[in-house]
Structure 1
Amino acid sequence: MTKQTVIVTGGSSGMGKAMAAHLAAEGWNVVITGRTEETLEKTQKKK
């Protein structure tokens, strides 16, 4: 499978955050969604 873009719901905490980090480390372009803008921004900055 060609690595392209994946959307992870609940990506600012817990399992979604872990999955987003793993996929990003594997070279995927990751888009995360979540309920709280503040936690999404914190997650994005942790790269």
Structure 2
Amino acid sequence: MGVEIFSTLYQFGDVFAFLILSAAGLAIIFGMMGVINMAHGEF
């Protein structure tokens, strides 16, 4: 039982970390390029 909980939490943390790092990387790249963010109406 304990191993299953640890495994599930580890998988969740792994996916969560990947998504956070991907979002941060894209935000930095698009911020440096000066791309207009049309989704938030920054024009």
The structure with the largest alpha-carbon Rg is: 2
- Tell me the TM-score normalised to structure 1 length: 0.31
Higher strand share: 1
Q: Which has the higher contact order (CA 8 A, sep 6+)?
A: 1
- Tell me the TM-score normalised to structure 2 length: 0.34
